[in-house]
Each structure stands twice: as C-alpha cells, then as structure tokens.
Amino acid sequence: MASMDSPNSPPNCSSFAIRETTHHKKMASLDPSNSPPNHSFALRDATAQCFLRSLSTKEASFNGFHCSPPRYSTPSLHTSPLSSPLRTFNPNPSNHTINLDASYKCLSSVLKKDGQILSIAISNGIIYTGSDTNLIRIWKLPEFSECGVLKTKASTVVALAVSHERVFAAYGDTKIRVWRRTWDGALKHIKLATIPRISGYVRSYISSKDKMTRHMGPITSLAINISDNILYSASVDKTVKVWRISDLKCIENIPAHSEPINAIVVADDGILYTASDDATIRVWRRNFCRGEWPHSLMVTLPAKCSPVKTLTLTADGGVLYGGCTDGYVHYWLKGWASGQLQYGGALQGHTHAVMCLASVSNYVISGSADSSSRVWSREHDGQHVCLAVLVGHRGPIRCVTAFLGHAGEEVEDGCTICTGSLDGVLKVWRVSRTKRGSGGFVKNDYFELD
C-alpha cells in the first residue's frame, strides 16, 4: 500500500522562478512555410529504447531543441471526406473565415528530480504522472497540489490508465502494476498485482508459451474497455494483449501489425484502434462467438506513408485523430449511418513528430517533439481552428491530458491542459476563447523559465 506521506517519498523540490510575459497576436491564415517536412523518419532504433516513442523517430536529443515563437497556422488541411491521405493535399485558406479571440496562460510549472515525464492519466479529479524513475506522482485538482506517490522497484513508467478505481501502470520491464484506489477518509492506493503474475510466467516459460502471457518488448500504450472490463496493452513486439481485469489474466494475443505498435485507444462501443510504425491505423472489432481469437480486423487506414505515434478519439467516438512523425495530425470521421471511417483531412503546424494527443469536448490538443503544444477547436462545420500554440517547454512534449473547466468550474468556453515533457517539467495551461463579430487580438499570457 502506497501511503500518501511515505517516508520513502522524495522531498519536494523548489519550483522555478517564473517571469510572466504578455503577448498580443492575431490569428493568421495558412502559411506554407509552417508545413513540416514530408519525409518519414527512420524507424530502426534499438528495442530497449523503443518504449520512448520519440526515440523511434531518430529525432535529435531534446537538448538540441530550442523554443521558437508561436506560429499560427490556423486552418486545417481539409480535403474531400472520401479522399485518402496518400493523395496530395489541397489546402484552401479562403474557407476558414471564423473570427476568434483566444487567450491562454500557464497556471503552473513544476520540476521534480524524476527525469523525463513519460506518461499521464486523469480520473475523478486526480492526475497521475509517470517518469523514467520508479515513481508515479499523484496530483489533486483543481489546486494541482501533489498528494502522494506510488513507488515500485521497477523504473520507467511508460504508460498509465485509470478506470473503476483501478490504476494500471506499464513499466520498462514489460510488466504492468495494478493498484486499487480507495477514499476512506483520505486518498489511498493498495497494490493488487503485477501482471503477468510471476507463477504464471514461470509455468508459461517452461511450456514455451510465454509469448502469449507476456510482451517480448517494451510496452508503449494501455487502454481500457470499460463495458467489457478488459485491459489492452500494446508493445514494440508488434502485438496487443488482452487482459481480463477481474482476474488479471491474459485471454488473447493479437498480432496486430508488421512493425512496432505505438498507441492504442478503445471507443465506448468496444471498437479498438491500433497505430504503428508501419504507417497505418488498424480497426478491430471484438466478436464473442469467435473462440480463442475474438478480435477481428475491420479495416486498415493509411496515414500518408508516415509512422503513426499517437491516437485519440472524441468522446462520442465520431472523430479519430492520429499524430505522425511528419508533424501532421490526420483525422477520420465516422459515419453515423454506416459506421465506416472516412478520411477528413490533416492539421498542420508542428515541425517535428507529433508524440501525444488528447481530446475533450470539441478541443484537440497535440504535443510534439518541437517542444510545443497546439490547441485545436473543431467547429460545427467540421473545420478545425488552432486556438493557441503553447510554448515554454525546453524538450519534446511526451504526454498530454485535458479537462473542461477552470478551478473546478465550467463557466467559460475553454479547457485546462497538462503537458509533460522530456525536460522533466510538468505544466498546466488554461485556454479560453470567445467569439466576436470581427477580428481581434489574442492575448497570450505564459510563464517563461528564468
């Protein structure tokens, strides 16, 4: 059991000295100079490092990155709903005439001696962050105060998922730790298990069936199917494993792709999406009458010949977003009648690989190896507008999450965003917007590190 005030917890480090600056900028039209390079990155890094999705792109070390001024490439690259990302883009800036005022500011900037921040998850007003140490830090909203840590012998928390008061954390040793969260007077976490279980692993190894019960390479992503009470884990070993949460047993092994799998996400209707270095997104349906192989492939979506590093879904499952190494965020629209996915277009603006995505309400947030995060608004006509470019990290942004409201209230149109970077800094941002009849200035308040 992880105590909230454990004597093994590391001391709190003093936060940065911060200096607030204010900038006024106007939302600009599409600028072709902001387009990222179209080439795909090489994907042959050592397996031991593949769990850091940024490393598989062979990007330069984050020490070589520098923060550049925000560039507002507000329109999306919109094409016909039936077009393929393999075809040439035909952006038409004249279609994007929405006048918006948006403001954003950094609410908090925290540095701990945990090294790179690799994963983040949010549930019931609690945020969990994982790093390349053996600690998972716990933060309470809305004040964003640290309220505990989860500590294990293993290090490198590469993925997190939380559901039904259970916390799942994937580590660099290819294993998943599970905690149960309780609220008896104070927030507590009770360690339940490590999967695959040691005894089961020994038996499967002796019987040469360890490929079924454990990943042969680092885990990259976790997802939970709430309705079926199952956990999915994806790995650089090109497989997805299905775990029954009730007894934490592996019930299926899916050889999903020909290259390492970087991300998985599951919709409320049980549809599973997997993204891979093979430059595709695959869509899977679970059929209960298919015996030992209940998951069947429905369709394969190409992503412009660029490896797909991250995925996110809208809350209703109507739009699927995929972030790629070429800096684009492609998206697909789900037909309400047919249920089929049609290519909708791509969002541009990042100059390096898109490493993480998050979606809340009509907002989509992207984090990139260019050390910036972009906040997009999906309008009623299906167009996307870039509301803000969040600049302040000094390294690639590895994980992001978002929620509505500010300080526990939902009184204004906007969202609160948490970004974790390989520079070891965790930042909290507030983005707000208002519609006006004519063009106006955008007030951007953010904190810069001294």
Q: What does the alpha-carbon distance between residue 344 and residue 430 come to, in Å, rounded to a whole number? A: 28
pLDDT digits (tens, 9 = 90+) for 386-438: 999 999 999 999 999 999 975 445 445 889 999 999 999 999 999 997 655 43
Q: What does the alpha-carbon distance between residue 302 and residue 343 come to, in Å, rounded to a whole number? A: 10
Domain map of the chain by residue range?
23-449
pLDDT digits (tens, 9 = 90+) for 341-398: 999 999 999 999 999 999 999 999 999 999 999 999 999 888 999 999 999 999 999 9
pLDDT digits (tens, 9 = 90+) for 71-103: 333 333 433 333 345 444 443 333 333 345 789
pTM of the model: 0.76
Q: What does the alpha-carbon distance between residue 331 and residue 303 come to, in Å, rounded to a whole number? A: 9
Q: What does the alpha-carbon distance between residue 26 and residue 47 come to, in Å, rounded to a whole number? A: 44
Pick the CATH number of 23-449 from 2.60.40.2130, 1.10.3720.10, 3.30.470.10, 2.130.10.10: 2.130.10.10
Helix (H, G, I), strand (E, B) or coil at 47: helix
Distances (CA, A) of 361 to 96, 198, 314, 402: 21, 41, 7, 10
